[in-house]
Chains A and B, each alone.
Chain A
Amino acid sequence: MDWMSRNLPYLMAGISVGGQYALIAIGYTMVYGILRLINFAHGDIFMVAGLIMVYSTTVMPIYIAIPLMILVTVLLGFLVERVAYKPLRTAPRMSIMISAIGVSYLLQNLALYVTGGLSQQYPAIPWINDTVTLFGATTKRVTIITPILTIILVLLLVTLIKKTKIGMAMRAASRDFETSQLMGIKINSVISFTFIIGTFLAAIGSLLFFTNYTGVTPTAGAMPGLKAFVAAVFGGIGSIPGAVIGAFIIGICENIIKGLGWTTFSDAFTFALLIVILIAKPTGLFGEKVTDKV
């Protein structure tokens, strides 16, 4: 029991962080599934969502600020796709990825300009920030809410993709981009919708993620973004359940490593895990096997 209560906080933190990574990772994996693009700007959109929350709570009550933050973030994701990725639809894949890096660079520098490079205090959100005791371990309520909320959102998303017309269009587009266009699918609206869902989940993820941290800095999105992407690759990019499971595994492993006192290596371990899985199973845990046709 003593061992349990000593290690439980790390495990719970791991599950919670895993849920937050999962919400970001879905954005990566869905965009990759359709456009074959590593959306490097996704982590920075996540950071911008945090900053919007910081600035909006200074002028309005929190119950207006949260929906507004989600709305503005979704709008940002939509605009990024329209301005930076849509004109490059026919360009080689490299250019669109460079464009994503450019957007990431722009968002970081913009955040640096607005914040003046200082870490911004994230507002304390009532209720989810309260302390609760679970199995003798004290933690914030957000730690318990995150995995539950993540699973609910993922189930909703999977239903959306499996049962609705737009979901069917998304599956078709990710299977074969050109043929789905020929079948009358409006590819631009499908892609926009993908970005909207991705950024919506990232906005919720940022709400949960930054509650656990004291501040938002212009580069705060880079590491979680990269790890969420690793989680998506780990689970097999293009697969939503894969991304979620990958994110939970990475979140838990990372916190166990921290619990063992190897904090320096918590980031490195994530990447080591990724490389091991890629070598053993090059398309990730649940990825589709690709065969090259000559």
Chain B
Amino acid sequence: MSTKKKTAWNAGLIAALLILLFLLEQVMPSSSMLFTVLKKGAIYALVAVSMNLLNGFTGLFSLGQAGFMLLGAYTYAILTIPVEARNSVYQYFDGGIIQFALPVPVALIAGGIVAAIFAYLIGLPVLRLKSDYLAIATLGFAEIIRAVFQWDKLGPITNGSNLLRNFPSFRSVLFPFIVAGICIALIVMLINSTYGRAFKAIRDDEIAAEAMGINLAHHKRLAFVISSFFAGISGGLLAMYQTTIQASMFKSAMTYEILLIVVIGGIGSVTGSCISSFLFIACSEWWLRFLDNENLYIGGFHVPLLRPGFRKVVFAIVIMMVVLFYRQGIMGTKEFSIEGIANFFKRKPVGKKKKGGASHE
């Protein structure tokens, strides 16, 4: 299939998906679980792809994603709370010191930029570390950021450990899809560029890559900063989705969840991360919900063990099964694409490596 045809197919698919979402929203009640899953899934897809850029494509094992999401979420919330609502939000800090509100898109990008600046500063010392040491140092930085944001001396800006609320949020499911879609498309373009190839070379063999003239420090820093930028934007989206935020939300458990999504989708597959984030959110929030119901009867049989919390146990077991028996994840390192499907139906041997397939969202 020619490149032009492929692009047309992909554009058509994305348009069809957006129209489908728009129609769904007109037809179904907005309280439906489907929309919760779609909104949260799109946000997690973005952060999972940003983590995949680091872990899967550059081979940097970083566990700081929750910290960068926190930075994005806080920047977004602080910059967009309407001036008239500030007195009630910052009730313990005399209305805070920031007395202006920015429009939503500007604040989202600002969130990304703040996360990127922090990533640059953190990256200066930390990126010299290797594998597990890097992981534990970035995890440590996420914890430090969380503690700093809860510090009451910074209260006039961050509201201490109190909730931030009253900032604008989105109602339509299209908003997170479009924002996340654009960001993921940008990441895919980056991966397919010269920089992306350099990242992959670093992942496969650092020494060989250096010998080929790739500036290791520069490229690692670039990947780290870009990944954090998008994590920051997804943090802003998460703030919009949740309508209130608090620093204590962004624990290391959140990073582990994102890492599980990346691994289940397949390390090194953008579309895999997207698919698995929707599946992950749908399973944990929606499909297994019946397991929390204590009075479930099948025929006349009262199903034992069911009570609130059982859903999460079953979910954790499912995840363990996937990790143990399905090591490559859903997509492995392949990408989901029209071409792949077309080849599958034609029963033709698939070309050496399925390529293309920008964000399938």
Contacts and interface: CB of A to CB of B under 8 A. Distances in A.
A275 B317 contact: no
A271 B260 CA distance: 23
B336 interface: no
B316 A264 contact: no
The majority secondary structure among interface residues of chain A is helix
Interface stretch (B5-13, B86-94, B319-327): B319-327
A60 interface: no
B317 A282 contact: no
Given A113-B310, A268-B143, A102 B125 contact: no
A282 B313 contact: no
Interface string A275-291: 10011001000000000
A116 B136 CA distance: 31
Contacts of B146: 268
Contacts of B355: none
A109 B323 contact: no
Interface string A221-235: 010001001100100
A222 B317 contact: no
A269 B28 CA distance: 50
A170 B55 CA distance: 31
B207 A268 contact: no
Q: Which of A84, A117, A264, A270 has the most CB of B within 10 A?
A: A264
B197 to A, nearest CB: 22
The majority secondary structure among interface residues of chain B is helix
Contacts of B137: 274-275, 278
B132 A38 contact: yes
A105 interface: yes
A38 B133 CA distance: 10
Contact of A267 (B126, B143, B324): B143
Contact of B313 (A95, A102, A106): A106
Interface residues of A, number: 45
B324 A87 contact: yes
A197 interface: no
Interface in A241-294: 264-265, 267-268, 270-272, 274-275, 278-279, 282, 292, 294
A230 B260 contact: no
Contacts of B27: none
A100 to B, nearest CB: 10
B133 A268 contact: no
Contacts of A211: none
Interface residues of B, number: 45
Nearest to A105: B316
Nearest to A283: B133
Given A94-B267, A113-B310, A292-B207, A102 B319 contact: yes
Given A99-B323, A110-B313, A271-B141, A105 B256 contact: yes
Interface in A11-63: 32, 36, 38, 40
B20 interface: no
B312 interface: yes
B1 interface: no
B267 A265 contact: no
B189 interface: no
A91 interface: yes
Contact of B312 (A94, A109, A278, A292): A109
Contacts of A68: none
Given A271-B144, A275-B141, A103 B320 contact: yes
B147 A268 contact: yes
A132 interface: no
26 contacts: A94-B61, A95-B263, A95-B327, A98-B259, A101-B259, A102-B320, A105-B256, A106-B313, A106-B317, A109-B315, A110-B316, A116-B308, A233-B133, A264-B147, A264-B150, A265-B147, A268-B146, A271-B140, A271-B141, A271-B143, A274-B136, A275-B137, A279-B125, A279-B129, A282-B128, A292-B207
Given A94-B263, A117-B309, 8 more contacts: A84-B320, A101-B259, A102-B260, A116-B307, A264-B147, A274-B140, A275-B137, A282-B133
Listed from nearest, the 5 A-B pairs whose CB atoms lie closest are A271-B140, A268-B147, A113-B309, A106-B316, A109-B312
